[in-house]
Structure 1
């Protein structure tokens, strides 16, 4: 290993946070096992989650064995593997449609499913970090409008294939996560702030115009998206706008989730104190179970743990001695931040429902392994450092 690389101990603070989140996950899943739908009632999802956690820890160990600098060599091959796995969903016989989305592969040997879009998020972060770092090395000290457009074009070209392939599954939740990943990475990519503000302004105007059109012509917009992949997403937005009108349909899950959160009050009802039935409670809606059983205090502890985790990753990103590591870290921050906000927000009817799990807590093997792998990259970055991109020279 290069002598300029400074080896450090593992970040025990971050490891402790992640372990606590997984413990909370297993406790919550244990308490829910007899309240789930009849088809899956009694299944030991907390044990399954523990097994997936062990698999994720093995993945972290494998990631830690390699200098994170070397992942630049594998970034683009992994990206294309991810894209091909998304394309395969529309052709391969192992692809299965669950909850209306063609997003999974069925693995018959172990009788489980794998969601390639989850891996694609991490592969895209690696590819974007590599492309941004390479671009800035080439254009060092020569930033102008041409620089901005070329870098933005490269980022757009990388983002469009996975974004489109995920959107048409349809999985609007992960598609939006990808946009937030790109947005976070664009902020620290080297694009000039004038250019970024212009992009934000254009995005805001387009969003405002689309909102005005939707609010002015709701029936016409609904008819436009009827019988398309996006009809379900539009129904969720409508249910969020007027939950009473859709209380027996699209809004039922959100209403029940909010009732469960409120019923927990300050200290909650205790383990196995679940009384309000919420569909998908062991996966996407698990925060409502935490709030009901452990109350405001318990759910606040979870939020604080997430805040500390994000804060620590940002610290490591700023301390990183290699631009590639910084870009990679901020991409992971974007992925985690949006998913945490989205999942908790939809559980309290702050924003419309999407099928996004709560990182490290919702049951799901693919998602847990991906989040742990992301933490593995952060731990790797922390333990191997080169020149700091924001550091002033020691005098």
Structure 2
């Protein structure tokens, strides 16, 4: 390895410090079963540091060879939730495996995110190596490969049900499509069709909200109907599904410009150490503190995009873009739902929310991105 991106490491380290400190300030406001969460988070960051090192130990060819086996393993693990005895259902969602030792839970959809990024990067790079002439057939074949590979985990995660994680899968596929080499005329047609579909759904909802929600309640997306109603008309559901969103905006708004001060919490929010950790930052440190966190995320994504552009290995470049798609959606969705810009979903804030499996996955992703950048060689008289 010729070099290491210290700036990216500094960003992750800063986010880690903010995460652990915020969890420490929440110590007296959390249920007993999550006490000392900041200590556990520190341990997970240490483990994640070793995961970054391990991810950087292997070269890009190794990841490319493993992309298909890992993708198949990920799909089988999602299918196994519905058949294996270790599948564990919580609050109506079958998303986890409960290991027989120590009651440890594993969420296979988190691992599937990395496996899908590797698989999409591999098929995109392989397609562009074999097809030298771009035409309609080139576009449609590559489009079919990317969509076909993504739709399988997407559907398996949707039926758990876990629409939030499924949309992360969709975001990874979307970002890969944008840089895959498919001509823009095809992409514009595809995106135009997608916008037309989404616009139709929105129009159907606003034209007859009661009928639309009634339809959703008769499907597996009953929980989605509750969250849409709570987001659109929170004043009508203050004692039920809208309570979380209302409390989160109250907490962030009460922080005003500079916040109320360290550990000065006045608004109670359930699950504040996980999906709603951004509200703790907003209430303590106000608009200034929240803006600093958002700037750090912007720098994180900017640096990852820069690495993707600089990487001459197409496979490594596609990997970086896939992870940009993963992080972009989760950051935007989590912060958006915290300020009621978007409906509530169970999406953690990367590197901030408490959680072992998700944090480990994020760190592995960063390790692979650092790997792609560190193994990039620069030669004298090299031209782009």
User: Given the two structures, how large is their TM-score scaled by the length of structure 1?
Assistant: 0.94
Q: Quote the residue 1:22 is aligned against.
A: 16
- Name the one with the larger helix percent: 2
Maintained 8 Å contact 1:283/1:357: yes
Out of 23, 29, 40, the residue aligned to residue 33 of structure 2 is: 40
Maintained 8 Å contact 2:217/2:225: no
Q: SS of 1:360's equivalent?
A: coil
Question: Take 2:61 and 2:29, find their aligned partners in 1: how far apart are those partners?
Answer: 47
User: Structure 1: which 5+ runs fail to align?
Assistant: 1-6
Q: Quote the residue 2:2 is aligned against.
A: 8
Q: Quote the residue 1:394 is aligned against.
A: 383
Q: Quote the residue 2:265 is aligned against.
A: 274
1:1-395, aligned counterparts within 5 Å?
A: 7-37=1-31, 39-40=32-33, 43-140=35-132, 142-385=133-376, 394=383
Deviation at 1:387, TM superposition (A): 9.1
Pairwise CA RMSD of aligned residues?
Answer: 1.6
String of CA shifts for 1:25-52, please: whole Å, max 9, x gaps. 1111111121124x536x1001111111
Deviation at 1:171, TM superposition (A): 0.5
String of CA shifts for 1:312-359, please: whole Å, max 9, x gaps. 011100000100011100010011011101100100011111100000
Maintained 8 Å contact 1:28/1:289: yes
Q: SS of 1:34's equivalent?
A: helix
Question: Take 1:295 and 1:107, find their aligned partners in 2: how far apart are those partners?
Answer: 40
Assess, with a 3 A threshold, how the Cα gap between structure 1 residues 266 and 282 changes in structure 2: closer, same or farther. same
After TM superposition, which residue ranges in structure 1, 4 or more long, deviate above 4 angstroms? none
Maintained 8 Å contact 2:216/2:224: no
Deviation at 1:136, TM superposition (A): 0.5
User: Structure 2: which 5+ runs fail to align?
Assistant: none
Deviation at 1:293, TM superposition (A): 1.1
String of CA shifts for 1:116-141, please: whole Å, max 9, x gaps. 1011011101000000000000002x
Q: SS of 2:28's equivalent?
A: coil
Number of aligned pairs? 383
Q: SS of 2:272's equivalent?
A: coil
User: Given the two structures, how large is their TM-score scaled by the length of structure 2?
Assistant: 0.96
Maintained 8 Å contact 1:322/1:387: no
Deviation at 1:81, TM superposition (A): 0.7
Maintained 8 Å contact 1:261/1:295: yes
Question: Take 1:23 and 1:95, find their aligned partners in 2: how far apart are those partners?
Answer: 34
Maintained 8 Å contact 1:320/1:387: no
Deviation at 1:229, TM superposition (A): 2.0
Q: Quote the residue 1:3 is aligned against.
A: none
Maintained 8 Å contact 1:31/1:271: yes
Question: Take 1:50 and 1:104, find their aligned partners in 2: how far apart are those partners?
Answer: 23
Maintained 8 Å contact 2:3/2:375: no
